[in-house]
């Protein structure tokens, strides 16, 4: 009966977390198509987006629309995904000892990651782009139901709520799975872990005095957006020690190191989503000789109205490497499990990744669940 009540309570917490997240989803949804560089020598008050929306007006003003295409802001894209990659990384929030061959643990984890929400990248023309402000959706107008074109108040913390399960295997191995959601977005995060406890089984004698040590790795990937692909891989080593307290209770401090790899890739991006290139062109199929679009519609100078096709591109891929330290503390009483971990950049991200301009990040995680 006690176990059943505990399990129901855990599920209730998970449901409440997901419902709360869905209720305010949207403001931090990534909009990387906004991360563009404006062309040089734009007329006053014009942008590549405004020229794409009215190429005939540009021609009438003596301009060539093809000279004013949007270009990808690769630095802004990489920095936003670098911050997000740190947030979704495998938490490795486990003690070095496994649950044992017959053991199983299920828990809810809440993690809070600092992001560089006010940071900016320098552009070739001397301007700056605040990638989290321009690269996320922002608030929704309560009357028009339209989202803003810039997020003036991006969250300073990314919140991820996950359900986790761990299962011990023979020979000191353990597998784990995790699935969760990023608050204030429509993004989901899932993945798995595999690790090996080197001293598993030694509980008495000289080796029993040593801390438990484990090596392992995990993968996390993001779903919920068609604009980009983001996957993180973490390889870690941890040490922990179970300290017995009275009344079947244990406290478990841990320390660890993680090598984090972040893989970010862009899908094909339309930097002028409010312009229908096919309709503007009057698309009539591919040209049999060039393979380019054949347009029924013409500009005032007689050229095909096909310039908006040039506003589609992909960003350069991100391949980032980071070093993280981890400090954890867990408490177990009978089947009840409570834990917390602080993960942090050991060195500045730009030491190994010149494209990243943000400062060090950290993640604070809390978890509660049951262990059998």
Q: What is the pLDDT of residues 133-170, one digit of tens each?
A: 999 998 876 665 566 688 989 999 999 999 999 999 99
44 lies in some domain:
no
Parallel/antiparallel/unpaired status of strands 283-286 and 318-333: unpaired
Q: Which domain holds residue 185?
A: 2-34+74-267+314-371
CATH number at residue 208: 2.40.128
46 lies in some domain:
no
297 lies in some domain:
no
Is residue 20 within 8 A of residue 174, CB to CB? The reply is: no
Share of the chain above pLDDT 70, in %: 89
State the chain's mean pLDDT as an integer: 90
240 lies in some domain:
yes
- Record the pTM: 0.89
pLDDT at 24: 44
Is residue 155 within 8 A of residue 184, CB to CB? The reply is: yes
pLDDT (tens digit, 9 = 90+) per residue, 246-291?
778 999 999 999 999 999 999 999 999 999 999 999 999 998 888 8
Q: Which residues contact 34 (CB under 8 A, 6 or more apart)?
A: 134, 135, 149, 150, 271
Residue 115, pLDDT above cutoff 70:
yes
pLDDT (tens digit, 9 = 90+) per residue, 189-234?
999 999 999 887 666 666 667 899 999 999 999 999 999 999 999 9
Task: For residue 39, give the DSSP letter.
Answer: P
pLDDT (tens digit, 9 = 90+) per residue, 54-80?
999 999 999 999 999 999 999 999 999
Residue 237, pLDDT above cutoff 90:
yes
pLDDT at 203: 64
Per-residue pLDDT band for 299 (boundaries 50, 70, 90) equals very high
pLDDT at 247: 77
Per-residue pLDDT band for 3 (boundaries 50, 70, 90) equals very low
Can you list the alpha helix ranges (DSSP code H) found in the chain? 2-23, 48-53, 55-60, 74-88, 131-134, 277-281
pLDDT at 142: 63
48 lies in some domain:
no
291 lies in some domain:
no
pLDDT at 183: 96
Per-residue pLDDT band for 32 (boundaries 50, 70, 90) equals very high
219 lies in some domain:
yes
pLDDT at 23: 39
Is residue 160 within 8 A of residue 178, CB to CB? The reply is: no
pLDDT at 15: 46
Q: How far apart are CA 307 and CA 287, in angstroms?
A: 15
pLDDT at 202: 66
Q: How far apart are CA 152 and CA 350, in angstroms?
A: 26
pLDDT at 19: 43
Structure tokens at 350: 């730009």
Residue 13, pLDDT above cutoff 60:
no
Residue 8, pLDDT above cutoff 60:
no
199 lies in some domain:
yes
Total domains, the chain: 1
pLDDT at 22: 42
Residue 175, pLDDT above cutoff 60:
yes
């Amino acid at each position: 009966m006690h176990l059943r009540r505990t399990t129901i309570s855990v599920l209730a917490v998970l449901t409440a977390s997901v419902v709360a997240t869905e209720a305010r989803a949207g403001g931090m949804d990534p909009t990387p198509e906004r991360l563009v560089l404006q062309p040089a020598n734009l007329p006053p008050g014009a942008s590549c987006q405004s020229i794409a929306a009215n190429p005939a007006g540009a021609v009438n003003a003596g301009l060539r629309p093809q000279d004013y295409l949007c270009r990808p802001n690769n630095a802004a894209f990489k920095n936003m995904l670098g911050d997000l990659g740190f947030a979704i990384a495998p938490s490795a929030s486990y003690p070095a000892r496994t649950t044992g061959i017959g053991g199983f643990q299920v828990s809810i984890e809440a993690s809070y990651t600092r992001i560089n929400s006010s940071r900016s990248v320098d552009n070739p023309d001397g301007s700056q782009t605040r990638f989290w402000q321009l690269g996320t959706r922002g608030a929704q107008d309560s009357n028009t139901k339209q989202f803003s074109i810039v997020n003036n108040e991006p969250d300073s913390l990314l919140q991820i709520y996950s359900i986790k399960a761990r299962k011990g295997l023979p020979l000191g191995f353990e597998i784990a799975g995790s699935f969760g959601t990023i608050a204030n977005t429509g993004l989901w995060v899932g993945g798995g872990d595999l690790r090996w406890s080197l001293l598993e089984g030694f509980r008495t004698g000289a080796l029993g005095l040593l801390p438990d040590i484990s090596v392992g790795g995990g993968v996390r990937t993001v779903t919920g957006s068609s604009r980009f692909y983001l996957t993180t891989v973490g390889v870690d080593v941890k040490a922990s020690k179970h300290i017995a307290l009275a009344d079947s209770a244990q406290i478990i401090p841990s320390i660890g190191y993680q090598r984090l790899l972040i893989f970010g890739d862009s899908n094909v991006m339309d930097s002028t989503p409010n312009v229908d290139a096919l309709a503007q062109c009057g698309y009539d199929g591919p040209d049999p000789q060039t393979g380019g679009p054949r347009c029924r519609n013409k500009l005032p100078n007689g050229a095909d109205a096909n310039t908006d096709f040039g506003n589609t591109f992909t960003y350069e891929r991100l391949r980032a490497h980071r070093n993280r330290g981890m400090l954890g503390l867990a408490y177990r009483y009978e089947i009840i499990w409570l834990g917390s971990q602080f993960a942090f950049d050991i060195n500045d991200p730009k030491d190994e990744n010149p494209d990243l301009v943000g400062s060090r990040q950290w993640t604070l995680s809390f978890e509660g669940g049951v262990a059998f």
